[in-house]
Amino acid sequence: MAVVEEDWQTKRSTVVERTTFIFNNEFLSDVKFVVPVSTGESESKKVIPVHKFVLAISSPVFYAMFYGQMAETTDSIELPDCDYESLLEMFRHFYSDKVNLSGSNVMQVLYLANKYMVPSLADKCTAYLRDSLTASNVFCILPHAQKFEDKDLEDRCWEVIEKQTEEAVTSDEFASLERSVVESVVKREKLNVKEVELFRAVDRWATKESERQGITLDSNAKRRILGETIVKYIRFPSMSQKEFVSVVFDSNILTFQEISDLMKHYSGVLTTSLPFSKAPRIVRFYQCKRFVKVISESQWGYASSSADRIHFTVNKPIKLHGVQHFGSKGGEYVVSTEVKHTTGGSLVKQSGSYTSEKDKTFPYFGYVVLFDHPVGLVENKEYELVSLIKGPSSCYGEGGKTSIETNGVQFFFRSSLVSSNGTNHTRGQFPALVFSLI
């Protein structure tokens, strides 16, 4: 018999306080659960004393276990399919309405909450998972969200995967996924990753899967492991020829005919259709718009050698995909746009001819210079945006601010100290920066 303080009931004014007092306590306990405890290389067992009445009013499964027609009569019950810490947390919730969740126990607690039909505890687990969801753990959480048919949590997982694809597919969890989840990923239309990096991740998964299955990687093994669906949904034509030759060519995944057709595609001599989509993945783009007012008259001129410049900083990592420019009705422009470190060194440079069109959301004409490959920007580092423009005078912006918040990213702008065409942080060119989140 456990030693208990005298008149303990009178010192605890609420039912929760009194049930919390007898939690994990042999006092008044009428049944014990025996569960495994892992201690490194060995495994032992621990006992949790409980009270049938508390468990029965908390879970219909325990009610049936203790008070149903086939009620347990033994005072000791073994549960080999759960661990001590997680079962203890479920019981803590029964006794106190509280639970101590962590990254190491939340999945097992969620499993127990669903097994024993405790929706209030399951809700706390899924709320914890939603709040702690990151690109590094999303593929650990997604299969559980699907298993327990938690549509909201599953949608949140896919949102993280779409926004932070590269970080997600390079995580350790991706390499241990079920094949069906890998297939679901490559089928997604919206993925924020270069196709060659997605292929690297899939190739790495196939190698790990072959190890799990004990399969020797001969010339056809990876193709068999991946299956035709995964291979067909990789968009090989959207890779550059250099990426294809250096990464895909020797992977032993594509057939000789597929490699031959893709090489003809890159050389522009392919006369048949490819079984792979040529369209790049859709990336969720955002725009940081700089100005509150646009002067629609074509008054902003362009000298032959004077570039428009602006310095900017972001407070969190992003991928910069391009820059919107002001134009004029039907105006044609030859543009060279570059993003540089202010301390020197070019990050990306894009040149080409552009025709100005009416903006879809604002009443002005303009065009977007998109980079062939997005450039990753880090937080709190200053960059310089430079555009050398040749063409007719355009409209321009006024009322620019030094600090602008867009979709959780804070942009800071300042005027360049280098002689420019007149653009500064309050007026001039560059109505919007096109970016995606990392």
Residue 307: pLDDT band with limits 50, 70, 90: very high
DSSP conformation class of 144:
H
Backbone φ and ψ for 56, nearest 5 degrees, come out as: -65, -35
Q: What mean pLDDT, rounded, does the chain reach?
A: 91
* Domain map (residue ranges) of the chain: 8-117, 138-267, 286-437
CATH architecture of 8-117: 2-Layer Sandwich (3.30)
CATH of domain 286-437: 2.60.120.820
pLDDT tier, 326 (very low <50, low <70, confident <90, very high otherwise):
very high
The model's pLDDT over 173-215, given as tens digits with 9 standing for 90+, comes to 999 999 999 999 999 998 988 899 999 999 999 999 999 999 8
pLDDT at 360: 62
**CB < 8 Å & 24+ apart, contacts of 347-352:** 347/375, 347/383, 348/320, 348/373, 348/375, 350/322
Determine the 3-state secondary structure of 163 from DSSP.
Answer: helix
Options 1.25.40, 3.30.160, 1.10.760, 1.10.10; which CATH number does 138-267 get? 1.25.40
Note the pLDDT of residue 39. Answer: 66
Between the CA of residue 82 and those of 61, 190, 338, what are the distances in Å? 16, 38, 57
CB atoms within 10 A of CB 385: 22
Mean pLDDT for 289-300 is: 90
pLDDT band at 132 (very low <50, low <70, confident <90, very high): confident
Give pLDDT, residue 381. 95
What is d(CA 407, CA 425) in angstroms, rounded to the nearest whole number? 20
Confidence of residue 1 (pLDDT cuts 50, 70, 90): low
Q: Which residues pair with 311 in a beta bridge?
A: 384, 414
Note whether 110 and 126 are within 8 A (CB).
yes
- Is the predicted pLDDT of residue 219 greater than 80, yes or no? no
Evaluate whether 8-117 and 286-437 have a shared fold: no
- Whether the per-residue pLDDT at 40 is higher than 70: the answer is no
